[in-house]
A = this chain, B = another copy of it.
Amino acid sequence: MKTIGIVDTTFARTDMGAAAIDELKRYGTGYKIIRRTVPGIKDLPVAAKILLDEGCDIVMALGMPGSKPTDKMCAHEASTGIIAAQLATNKHIIEVFVHEDEAEEGKLAWLMEQRAREHARNAYDMIFKPERLIKNAGRGLRQGYEDVGPVRER
């Protein structure tokens, strides 16, 4: 039995954590889930690290950085911390960020949910089916929007 941690924010404008959990349940079994919510994306790194230190095999850190320059900097700081948390624990944290200005209001919730779902499958595969990722190396995969695909077939 593996454990998957889910941590998201009250700042985001749709419930990304719920989308990730729903998708995990549709996609596979053999794990239990621990969920936390923090105020903003800069609170994600330590929340994810605590989950990993408590025994999670992988964590999904979901957030929606705002559109202002200050928000962009926050996203950078959060991402840097998320990488540091992984290096300190030797486990993966799948960062799922949707920038508020990546899509217009009407499409934003869709994108946030879709990206959360596609990365939930990545998180699952990373701990249960790593060979699926190797098979897709260099295939130009994207999460949320359509895959770009490879430049040319090898």
Q: Give A contacts to B, CB under 8 Å.
A: 8-18, 35-39, 42-43, 45-47, 49-50, 53, 70, 72-88, 90-95, 99, 105, 108-109, 112, 119, 122, 126, 130, 133-134, 136-143, 148-152, 154
Whether B10 and A136, one on each chain, are in contact in the complex, defined by CB atoms closer than 8 angstroms, is yes
A24 to chain B, nearest CB (A): 16
Question: Which residue of B has the minimal Cβ distance to A133?
Answer: B37
Question: Which residue of B has the minimal Cβ distance to A93?
Answer: B46
The 5 closest A-B pairs by CB, nearest first: A15-B138, A46-B86, A81-B83, A109-B151, A37-B133
Whether B14 and A138, one on each chain, are in contact in the complex, defined by CB atoms closer than 8 angstroms, is yes
Question: Which residue of B has the minimal Cβ distance to A149?
Answer: B13
A36 to chain B, nearest CB (A): 7
Whether B149 and A90, one on each chain, are in contact in the complex, defined by CB atoms closer than 8 angstroms, is no
Instruction: Jot down 23 A-B pairs with beta carbons below 8 A, ordered by A.
Output: A8-B138, A10-B139, A10-B140, A13-B150, A14-B154, A15-B137, A15-B150, A16-B137, A39-B94, A39-B122, A42-B82, A43-B92, A45-B86, A46-B86, A46-B87, A49-B87, A78-B83, A80-B80, A80-B83, A81-B83, A81-B86, A108-B151, A112-B151
